[in-house]
Chain A
Amino acid sequence: MSQSYNRGLIEDFSRWREFSAGMWAWIFHKFTGWVLVGYLFTHIAVLSTALSGATEYTTTIQGLESLLIVRILEVGLLAVAVFHILNGLRLLFVDLGVGLEAQDKSFYASLILTGVIVVASVPTFLAGVTI
């Protein structure tokens, strides 16, 4: 073992090119999951300004919400959440042993559906933003 050539990280990082549907789904799910927990923590942090009083809270929120960048990030969050939900459902079905043969198709479907939903919600999400 000791004398063998260790291909290490180079190997792992260049492999994505050869990924197949199920592996992309895994990567995306992982990524979106992490973003969501990250958001959960920030979300609670922001909300807990409520502890310091009503006005404090309202100004913080409205201040944030008026920023375009925040709105755009929210759209991103929506995309992330929708994908995670849809692919999560796909995974739940896989766990139940349903539709295993169509696992790649259902992944593509999740992607497309995510796209559609996100595009459709952009107007609502960007509504009332002051630039």
Chain B
Amino acid sequence: MSTQVPEQVEDESASETVSTGKQKRDAKKRERAERVQEQREVEAAEKARTADDTYHLKVFRYDPEVPEKQEPRFDDFYVPYKQGMTILDALMWARDHYDSSLTFRHSCRQAICGSDALFVNGSQRLGCKTQLSDLSEPVRVEPLPHADVVKDLVVDMEHFYDQMEAVEPYFQTNSLPDGELEEQRQTRENREKVKMSTRCIWCSACMSSCNIAAGDNEYLGPAAINKAYRFAMDEREGEDMKQRRLEILEQEHGVWRCQTQFSCTEVCPKDIPLTEHIQELKREAIKNNLKFW
């Protein structure tokens, strides 16, 4: 292979046998360097406040245990902007450089784990999927509305999970192929039909945006209904299963509660046409019942 060897950026590590004495000296040197570094950071923060290429964030703070944070407040952070910076990047920067107690959920940084749905400048968005440059300043970051705040930007997700799990969110069929190496057949069209509904990442943005879900705690909510749609429309489950699924959806607090506000569809980071799915289920339910009249 003709790969070229990279030029090492040389520093004091050139000599191999490092005496402990030298180590100590190095450590001292580094310590000094560190202090200088710290100094620089403070200055940088100061400069950041005044510079153009910083973003001004106003972040909701609350902690039931910390006296100063028991009464919720907004903290200001000035974060130096880098090309491609997202809300999540900015929050992480603020946490690592200004206040290590700034708390928010996050993991994948790529819009797939669904941890970081936040209320940013008045709408539900995924922190990691929202470019700072698309927002006007000051960027207001709050926890999801209509959910109990645990701390700072972290909300209690239990209710959302309960709703998700209330719709028998698992595949059920009575007719599996016999062979353990034989798959069930499914047409491309049918897969296409359920495709969007399978993309949900359980971020709860939709649920948080829905006024009905805010008012009626028992309402299944758009995400759970979508989850049920994913199975009800999957031809592999068969007709009698579909019947059963529709029965679940038809409860008083099922699909009928939806008032087609569309906000769920608008905020869904995975572009799932939630309202459309809910409406289709309402029609399916009606059709299904007309058969029995």
Contact = CB atoms under 8 A, between A and B. Distances in A.
Direct contact between A and B judged by beta carbons closer than 8 A: yes
B263 A23 contact: yes
A55 B33 CA distance: 100
A66 interface: no
Interface residues of A, number: 26
A22 B122 contact: no
Nearest to A96: B283
B260 A18 contact: no
A4 B156 contact: yes
Contact of B148 (A4, A94, A97): A4
Contacts of A15: 145
Contacts of B275: 22, 94, 100, 103
B149 A95 contact: no
B262 A18 contact: no
A1 B158 contact: yes
A11 B145 contact: yes
B261 interface: yes
Interface in A1-24: 1, 3-7, 11-12, 15, 17-23
A105 B234 CA distance: 32
B39 interface: no
Question: Which 9 pairs between the two chains have the least Cβ-Cβ distance?
Answer: A22-B262, A18-B122, A4-B148, A3-B64, A5-B149, A22-B261, A26-B261, A5-B62, A94-B260
A22 B260 contact: yes
A103 B262 CA distance: 8
Nearest to A98: B279
Interface of A: 1, 3-7, 11-12, 15, 17-23, 25-26, 91, 94-97, 100, 103-104
Contact of B260 (A3, A5, A7, A26): A26
Interface string B47-78: 00000000000000010100000001000000
Contacts, number: 68
Interface of B: 62, 64, 72, 122-123, 145-146, 148-150, 156, 158, 211, 214, 259-263, 265-266, 273, 275-276, 279-280, 282-283
Contacts of B266: 20, 22
24 contacts: A1-B156, A1-B158, A5-B62, A5-B64, A11-B145, A18-B123, A20-B123, A20-B263, A22-B262, A22-B263, A22-B266, A23-B261, A25-B261, A91-B260, A94-B275, A95-B279, A96-B283, A97-B280, A97-B283, A100-B273, A100-B275, A100-B276, A103-B275, A104-B262
B149 A26 contact: no
Contacts of A4: 64, 148-150, 156
A4 B145 CA distance: 13
B148 A95 contact: no
Given A1-B156, A100-B275, A20 B283 contact: no
A7 B71 CA distance: 11
